[in-house]
Structure 1
Amino acid sequence: MILTFVAIFMYLMGLLSFCLNRKHLLLMLLSLEFVVVSLFMLMYIYLCSYNWEFYFLMVFLTLSVCEGALGLSLLVLLMRTYGNNYMISFNLLW
């Protein structure tokens, strides 16, 4: 029961940090990964409580790794193009 509250608190703090750190792309990616870890913890607790299989967790981990790799590749691309990771300097109209 306490682990569920901890995971929900982690999820809410991850969303709060995502909303507050909207100036830097790297901090946004880190807070998204924190949200993914808290969602993984919530799903694990839920699946353990009902004695279900954990195949869905493997799919979730695979997709979250793909999301992290895509975010890091975008970060590297934007760092090479613009030279910084400030969201205000990215002009998406060009």
Structure 2
Amino acid sequence: MTSPFILIMSLFYLGLLGILINRLHFLSVLLCLELLLISLFLGLIMWSLSSGSPFLLSNNLILLTLSACEASAGLSLMVALSRTHSSDLVKNINILQQ
């Protein structure tokens, strides 16, 4: 494996580790999810450039679009959470009790 692929894999695992360890605030979880998506996007770009397939390049655009939709949905959830629970702490989210 080349060094860019190792860097992309380490970014992906860093995002997973951030989700597993740093779950105090909802914003930090969203940022770790964005790191996961960016590393997937970069990995698909590197893979499509190394294989020379034009079909994989169109998949990258779809992934980037879905990433933007996920970011907007996550931010709207964070705004709704902060308005209803007056904080963005993940431990305050308990929908089943209501």
TM over 0.5: yes
1:41-68 Cα shifts (integer Å, max 9, x gaps): 1111100011112111110000110011
Alignment match, 1:86: 89
Partner Cα separation in structure 2 for residue 44 and residue 90 of structure 1: 36
Structure 1 outlier segments of 4+, above 3 Å: none
Normalised TM-score (structure 2) = 0.92
Alignment match, 1:18: 19
Query: Map of 1:3-82 to 2, 5 A cutoff?
Result: 3-53=4-54, 54-82=57-85
Structure 2 portions without partners, runs of 5+: none
More helix per residue: 1 or 2? 2
SS of residue in 2 equivalent to 1:84: coil
Q: Percent identity?
A: 33
Instruction: Note the C-alpha offset of 1:91.
Output: 2.3
Q: For the aligned residues, what is the CA RMSD?
A: 0.7
Structure 1 portions without partners, runs of 5+: none
Normalised TM-score (structure 1) = 0.96
Partner Cα separation in structure 2 for residue 74 and residue 27 of structure 1: 13
